[in-house]
Structure 1
């Protein structure tokens, strides 16, 4: 009888620990609704124009984190969705912008001078 009770106790302990292990740390999982993801997607990032290539429709931007793309701050080249965006800014301008991945390229889809 002692062996049966010991086996049941060990089985219960293993079951509880396996369940806790399976639950694990879920802090990095995306649990938000589509609305929250949409808000993050449309949130503006901050940056500074470093170079303009009007003929190619590209801007080099030194930017902070791009939360919607999961990127840290850096300086990089972006295409622009609308070619008129390059005429709205000059080198040194501080901007707020939204960048998205479009056709395999990072593209500025919204742009506002600060």
Structure 2
């Protein structure tokens, strides 16, 4: 009985460790870059991983260097996710 409980606990632990959703790139257009505040405004399609509809919103960036590669009016593909409770752009291509 104890062995069965240990096996069940191990399986539940492994299941919890697996990521539930892998974020995919979302298409968007940069409307503003604020390097001083480390923010970018993007008009984007729905963010499926965050269950958000298409809209224009301000994001913080995970890495300041991302802001050097973009400019207003530029079409991008990006990944946004929650980082420390803030919706953050974690990758741009």
TM-score, normalised to structure 2, is: 0.77
From the CA coordinates, give the structure whose radius of gyration is larger.
Answer: 1
Tell me how large the CA RMSD over aligned residues is: 1.3
Structure with bigger RCO (C-alpha 8 Å, 6+ apart): 2
* Equivalence for 1:71: 52
The partner residue of 1:83 within 57, 64, 85 is 64
Alpha-carbon deviation of 1:60?
Answer: 0.3
CA distance in 1, matches of 2:42, 2:80: 11
Bigger proportion of residues as helix? 1
CA distance in 2, matches of 1:70, 1:46: 15
CA distance in 2, matches of 1:89, 1:97: 11
Task: Determine whether 1:54 maps to 2:25.
Answer: no
Bigger proportion of residues as strand? 2
* Equivalence for 2:21: 37
TM-score, normalised to structure 1, is: 0.63
Moved over 6 A (4+): none
Q: Secondary structure of 1:37's partner?
A: coil
Count of aligned pairs between the two proteins:
76
- Segments of structure 2 that go 5 or more residues without pairing to the other structure are 1-17
